[in-house]
Amino acid sequence: MRRGRNALLLLAIAAGLPACAEMRTPAPVARIPAVLAAGSADPVLDLVNQAATDFEDAGRSLANDPARMARAAARVEVIGAEFARDARWAPLSPSVGFEMRAARTELRAALGIRAGASPDAVARALSAAHVALVRGDRAAAIRALDPAIFEPGGEGTLAFLTRPGPLSQSRIATALARDEASRLARSNVWGLSGALDPDSGWLDPLPGRGMSIGPR
């Protein structure tokens, strides 16, 4: 009887391994602008940490630096999109997605980004503008800020990137995303061990209860 239960347990673990692997696998770099993903083995997790630093003072340090502001806003667009479509991030608290959507709304209002614009298109355009501004090519930055995405057009959006105003929601959202992503990375949701996180759950293989995640 015990041998049969052990066999069923092994089958259950084997069946769950592909899902665990999927939840540990970083997002494909191809769908993240190269300047945001360069040199990173786990670009979304790195972007979360970088965005929290960008907005830790509610954007005050980004004022008068349109290149950094463009990159910071691009990071928020990518993070929000990846949290919504990548199963790896499904265990995050729903409040993270809610706060990140609110941050995206705040940033789009501050920068004149059209509400219905695709996050991927916005991130690509902002990343291109960032690269152009870093190399001192203002004309290329203006071209990157397509009026189809940025309502004021290139010149107007550059002005908004220079003076974005206070971004308190972006500070709240990115700090929460960093904390929750860090908690998730330490927990057993991305593997079979929660030993690094005393608050994480554990796999419960007790007979009659099946495989589940329960409190410690």
Average pLDDT of the residues in 193-215 = 39
> pLDDT digit string (tens) for 53-86?
999 999 999 999 999 999 999 999 999 999 999 9
User: In the predicted model, is pLDDT for residue 190 greater than 80?
Assistant: no
Task: Check pLDDT > 90 for residue 148.
Answer: yes
User: Structural domain boundaries of the chain?
Assistant: 30-191
Please compute the mean of the pLDDT values over residues 174-200 and round it to a whole number: 68
| Amino acid letter for position 151 | E
Which alpha helices (DSSP H) does the chain contain, by range? 2-24, 34-37, 43-54, 66-85, 94-111, 119-134, 138-144, 153-162, 168-186
- Residue 62 · residue 164 · CB < 8 Å: yes
pTM: 0.77
What confidence tier does 189 reach under pLDDT thresholds 50, 70, 90? Answer: low
Residue 144 tokens read as 């990157």
